A and B are shown apart, each in its own frame.
Chain A
Amino acid sequence: MLETIWFILWGVLWAMYFVLDGFDFGIGTLMPFLAKNETDRRIMYNAQGPFWDGNEVWLITAGGVTFAAFPEVYAVMFSQLYTPLYLLLFALIFRGVTFEFRHLSESPTMKKFMDICHVLGSFLPALLLGVAFSNIFMGLPLENGVSQGSFFGLLNPYALAGGLLFVTAFCYHGAVWLAIKSPASMRQRAIRAAEEIWPALVLLAVVFLAASALATDLYANYLKYPFLLFIPMIPVAGLVLTRVALGKRNLWQSWIFSAATIFGTTAFGVAGIFPALLPSSIGPEHSVTIHNGASSPLTLQIMLGVALVMVPAIILYQAWVFKHFSFQIKEEEMIY
């Protein structure tokens, strides 16, 4: 039971991370397409400014909780996805320093270099996280905790589709957020971008859901427990409703439905692999599951106590920040 609760929390933390840092990655990825001049670029940095750091901590926590609640999963996941994780890490390092470094650099060359770092540091994590999680959904070629596959084996068509889905979903999510935060000069462009991305997102979502039936065993759990089918309904409904709300120019609503889409897509995959956290494509006996990967019951209990107190508190104060700092940016009071 404790293991199952932690499995759900594990999925929730990753999904929260994708929802929150997702819009930062989206804005960064869209920068070359949406920013025409220096002011536009600064607007895009400032739209993420008060949030990205707090958002990134969800990743640290998702990682930390994997380490604490499922040490075996942490060990296998991080060591066997060594190369993609290091790429992700370097991308995050570059993205993270660009905000402060760009704004304090005065030379245009340095600013340009930081912009390149920022765009790559946003696009690559989106892609890599999609590829990594799609591979987990498919099952890694694990045998006794060691992967028999290669880095290029990770770049299979299903995983690439997943990567593309993540990138597109984050871009859409970012465009809507940008529309919320931008001054009028940028707002219309951001809305138009979201409108243009949406059909591509729908197409990719359909492809991904269909490919999941062919390339993965994700649906097995849904066939076994049909009540779980409400989970994939979330992204499907979210995808439709976010467009409806966008059409009505109800941006906040649209953003929340977009968040639900990302959350639901992650939940769909995570519920599909249960009770494994790292399914093995070689044989289920090699999978790392909640049974052979979890910490001791005492650790799980104590950590649950910490999580039950802290996670709601975090959500409350982060919500406070989102409420206070989601105001429309005025060009003359930009920080970066």
Chain B
Amino acid sequence: MDALLLSRWQFAVASFFHFLFVPLTLGLSVLVAMMETKYVRTGDETYKRMAKFWGRLFLINFALGVVTGITLEFQFGTNWARYSSFVGDIFGSLLAVEATVAFFLESTFIAVWVFGWDRLSKKMHNAAIWIVAIATNLSAIWILLANGFMQNPVGYVIRNGRAELDSFYEVVTNGFGWSQFFHTVSGAWMLAGFFVMGISAWHLLRNNEMDFFKRSFKFGAAFAIIFSVLVAVQGHHHGNQVARLQPTKMAAMESLWETEKPAGMSLLVIPDEANERNLVEFLKIPYVLSILAFNDPMAEVKGLKEWPKEDRPPVTLTFLSFRAMVGLGTLFIALGAMAWLWRNKIETKRTLLRVLVYAIPLPYLALEFGWAVAEIGRQPWIVWGLMRTENAHSVGVSATQVAVSLGAFFVVYTLLGLIDFFLLRKYAVKGPEKASTSEPKAA
């Protein structure tokens, strides 16, 4: 294996692992902030216990999100040095802005929240978690604008052998990046909703702290239904952009080999990449793909054969990831709707509660599949149409060096992932601290 292939694996491992922690951070910070606001407004101690309980799960998750994020920043320089010098002017500045505008706030004020319970006024303390929640989501904007530049480069000129900034305004108003942001963040808030519902469901099934977990459940259910719908609506809009700006990705998402006008969509497809065809195409519904791609039943959708092989992304992976994401997304809307509908008598809906416990990992999977579509579907380009991935890796870094660091990542990430999982599970199962009447007074 050469340094390029190993670096690709390493980036995949690092980014997919990082993204196990990010979405919960995005959504749960907002939920905890809302719970604490409710406490400040009503003075009801249950909401304070809710903020503390869910806040602790947030913190366990947050720790790994932060440390695995540094890895990604480092990797652009260590493993993708030619990419870094080619787009540093634009991509680097977005990362730097993210750090100064958002990440500093998030990291500084999370500690204020943890250490400030008895040292700050209620309102100040509540403000700290809101700052964390806003900064976390603000940070997603900058990161996704940076990714948006890789997907749909705008606002640059090629000069001195690199992409130089031509219009910062165009870069930060990149519609593709914003669309990715709304899609990702809706998905993340939905995931947080399912996380809170799932853990609440587990306790409701065991009659633990019924009042506490019924209230928590309602917070989760609201997020789950609102954002599972939004992520789908937004996803459709985003699909239109992909069809227009990244037609090879769209063709791979559907495993569409021949150009069709109008294009239909088969419910069951087994791609046969080697022979540039589909082994099975079953239950074809006419017009659907044309509508999905261009909102026009008669629109032409280009097939993969329109492009030379070296310009096409890996089809099977892109296709399967997309189908899995969409399939799960549909399930989330159904589950979210049922949970919301029955939120006031949820303790009687035991089957749904059981399903919701098992549903906890599903949004994680769906979000990872979504990123697989975005990133694998972008291949062979690292910057769409401008730079190929194979030309982006570092010169002077040997395959051995990358192999060793990749091995270390496997070991370290597995270990940390396991500890994190067991801690999350342990504290989720343990439930909230017992309600006490003798709260320590503020110093």
A67 and B84 within 8 A (CB): yes
Residue B166, interface by CB 8 Å: yes
Residue from B88, B105, B118, B394 in contact with A67 in the complex, judged by beta carbons closer than 8 Å: B88
CB contact under 8 A between A89 and B70, given known A54-B111, A296-B89: yes
A35 to chain B, nearest CB (A): 20
Would A71 and B89 count as touching, CB distance under 8 A?
A: yes
Is A76 within 8 A of B114, CB to CB? no
Q: Do the beta carbons of A295 and B114 come within 8 Å of each other?
A: no
Query: In the docked arrangement, what's the CA distance between A76 and B85, Å?
Result: 9
* Most chain A beta carbons < 10 A, residue from B71, B78, B112, B397: B78
Shortest A34–chain B CB gap in Å is 22
Docked CA distance A67–B88 (Å): 6
When the two chains form their complex, are residues B99 and A60 in contact, meaning their CB atoms are under 8 A apart? Answer: yes
Complex Cα–Cα for A75 and B397 (A): 12
B164 CB within 8 Å of chain A: yes
Chain A residue nearest to B73 in the complex (CB): A63
From known contacts A50-B111, A64-B99, A92-B67, infer whether A57 and B78 are also in contact, taking CB-CB under 8 Å. no
Query: B residues within 8 A CB of A104?
Result: 56, 60, 423, 426-427
Interface check B364, CB cutoff 8 A: no
Check B173 for interface membership: any CB of A closer than 8 A.
Answer: no
Contact partner of B63 (CB less than 8 A), chosen from A61, A77, A97, is A97
> Would B68 and A93 count as touching, CB distance under 8 A?
yes
Segment 64-103 of A: residues with Cβ below 8 Å from B: 64-72, 74-80, 82-83, 85-86, 89-90, 92-94, 96-97, 99-101
- B107 at interface, CB cutoff 8 A: yes
State how many angstroms separate the Cβ of B102 from the closest Cβ of chain A.
Answer: 10
Which residues from 85 to 139 on chain A have a C-beta closer than 8 Å to any C-beta of chain B?
85-86, 89-90, 92-94, 96-97, 99-101, 104-105, 110
Give B229-240 as 1s and 0s: 1 = Cβ < 8 Å from A's Cβ atoms.
000000000000
Q: Given the complex of chains A and B, what is the CA–CA distance between A304 and B116 in angstroms?
A: 34
Q: In the complex, which residues of chain A have a beta carbon less than 8 angstroms from the beta carbon of B90?
A: 299
Known: A86-B408, A90-B408, A314-B100. A80 touches B396 (CB 8 A): yes
Query: Are A75's CB and B81's CB within 8 A?
Result: yes
* CB of A195 within 8 Å of the partner chain: no
Q: Which residues of B contact A110 (CB under 8 A)?
A: 419
Contacts of A146 in B (CB 8 A): 395-396
Contact B88 A295 (CB under 8 A): yes
> B342: CB under 8 A from chain A?
no
Query: Contacts A60-B73, A82-B401; is A96 near B66 (CB within 8 Å)?
Result: yes
Are A75 and B77 in contact (CB-based, < 8 A)?
yes
Cβ A72 vs Cβ B85 within 8 A? yes
A61–B396 alpha-carbon span in the complex (Å): 26
User: A325 and B84 in contact (CB under 8 A), knowing A53-B66, A64-B92?
Assistant: no
In the complex the two chains form, what is the Cα distance from A77 to B405 in whole Å? 17
> What 1/0 flags go to B150-169 for Cβ under 8 Å of A?
00000000010010111010
Cross-chain contact B77 with A311 (CB below 8 angstroms): no
| B114, chain A: closest CB distance, angstroms | 6
The answer to the question of B358 belonging to the interface, with a C-beta cut-off of 8 Å to chain A, is: no
Tell me the count of chain A residues lying within 8 A, CB to CB, of chain B: 66
Q: Quick one: CB contact mask for B5-31 with A, threshold 8 Å, 1 for yes?
A: 000000000000000000000000000
Q: How far is the CA of A317 from the CA of B106 in the complex (A)?
A: 12
A63 proximity list for chain B (CB < 8 A): 73-74, 77
Q: Tell me if B115 is interfacial: C-beta within 8 Å of chain A.
A: yes
B-side contacts of A22, CB under 8 Å: none
Q: Does B270 contact A (CB under 8 A)?
A: no
Determine which of A65, A69, A79, A318 lies in contact with B77 in the assembled complex, contact meaning CB atoms within 8 Å: A79
Report chain A residues within 8 Å CB of B84. Answer: 67, 71, 74-75, 78
Chain B contacts with A in 365-412, Cβ cutoff 8 A: 394-397, 401, 405, 408, 412
Contacts of B76 in A (CB 8 A): 67, 74, 78
A89 contact from B71, B82, B85, B112, Cβ within 8 A:
B71
Task: Judge if B108 is at the interface, Cβ distance under 8 Å.
Answer: yes
Contact of B92 among A86, A100, A147, A295 (CB under 8 A): A295
Q: A57-B99, A295-B93 are in contact. Are A100 and B412 (CB under 8 A)?
A: no
Q: Which residues of B contact A228 (CB under 8 A)?
A: none
Contact of A333 among B111, B118, B408 (CB under 8 A): B118
Is B79 part of the contact surface with A, judged by Cβ < 8 Å? yes
| Interface residue? A279 (CB, 8 A) | no
Decide yes or no whether B299 CB sits under 8 A from chain A: no
The reply to whether A298 and B165 form a contact with Cβ atoms under 8 Å apart is yes
A35 and B274 CA atoms in complex are apart in Å by: 63
Among the listed B88, B420, B423, B427, which residue makes an inter-chain contact with A75, where contact means beta carbons less than 8 Å apart? B88
- How far in angstroms is the closest Cβ of chain B from A87? 9
Return the contact of A57 from the options B82, B87, B91, B103 (Cβ within 8 A).
B103
Q: Contact at B88–A101, with CB atoms within 8 Å?
A: no
Among the listed A57, A70, A94, which residue makes an inter-chain contact with B104, where contact means beta carbons less than 8 Å apart? Answer: A57
CB of A61 within 8 A of CB of B416, answer no
For this complex, 9 residue pairs linking A to B, each with C-beta atoms less than 8 Å apart, are A57-B108, A67-B91, A75-B394, A79-B396, A100-B59, A104-B426, A296-B89, A299-B93, A302-B93
CB within 8 Å of B: which residues of A? 49-51, 53-54, 56-57, 59-61, 63-72, 74-80, 82-83, 85-86, 89-90, 92-94, 96-97, 99-101, 104-105, 110, 145-147, 295-296, 298-299, 302-303, 306-307, 310-311, 314, 317-318, 321, 324-325, 327, 333, 335
